[in-house]
């Protein structure tokens, strides 16, 4: 299961002023199938997004649901890779806003440098099935995993640059920054 509540910052029309705040909440759960190899995970399951954005420009103002599919291969101690494939369609929310019908593909790779430090590339390629708009970023970043008491932290920073895009409002570049925490028993 993964839950996300992003903090977004976007330029908005007509004067490109910046809007910053919390975006839409998303959660998915993937049922993992037995691949016969404990280092390879493959799963599929439901996802749902809730309209939690603090400003109109930062979210869809729609409830959406769909599917998520994930693959992660950790057979190699130095290089791990996989993908997250999702699709969601809106089913409720503000009638004045556009329908959500989006597929996203997130290929990812990590190179372990030792001591919990790693290089990463995890750009999310998004495709709007209603209007054929898309964004394909590629990035290279760095991360650090460390443990404090009963919590494992994963802190990362990844600049991403658009290699292909179509439609208004697609980013030329973006910075993907995150902190994941796992709470151990």
Number of other residues whose CB lies within 10 A of the CB of residue 182:
11
Quote the pLDDT of residue 14.
76
Whole-model pTM? 0.88
- In terms of C-beta density within 10 A (0-12 exposed, 13-18 middle, 19 or more buried), how is residue 114 classed? exposed
Query: Which residues, given as ranges, of the chain have pLDDT below 70?
Result: none
What is the rounded CA–CA span in Å between residue 26 and residue 104?
Answer: 13
What is the rounded CA–CA span in Å between residue 69 and residue 84?
Answer: 6
pLDDT tens readout for residues 41-77: 999 999 999 999 999 888 999 999 999 999 999 999 9
């Amino acid at each position: 299961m993964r839950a996300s509540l992003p903090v977004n910052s976007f330029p908005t029309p007509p004067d490109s002023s910046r809007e910053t705040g919390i975006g839409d909440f998303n959660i998915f759960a993937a049922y993992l199938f037995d691949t016969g190899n404990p280092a390879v995970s493959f799963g599929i399951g439901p996802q749902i997004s809730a309209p939690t954005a603090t400003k109109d420009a930062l979210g869809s103002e729609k409830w959406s649901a769909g599917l998520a599919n994930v693959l992660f291969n950790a057979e190699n101690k130095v290089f791990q890779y996989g993908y997250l494939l999702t699709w969601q369609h809106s089913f409720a929310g503000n009638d004045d806003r556009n329908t959500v019908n989006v597929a996203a593909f997130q290929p990812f790779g990590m190179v372990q440098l030792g001591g919990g430090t790693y290089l990463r590339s995890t750009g999310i390629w998004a495709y709007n099935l209603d209007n054929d708009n898309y964004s394909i970023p590629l990035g290279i970043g760095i991360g650090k995993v460390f443990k404090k008491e009963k919590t494992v932290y994963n802190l990362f920073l990844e600049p991403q640059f658009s290699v292909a895009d179509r439609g208004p409002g697609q980013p030329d570049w973006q910075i993907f920054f995150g902190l994941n925490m796992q709470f151990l028993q």
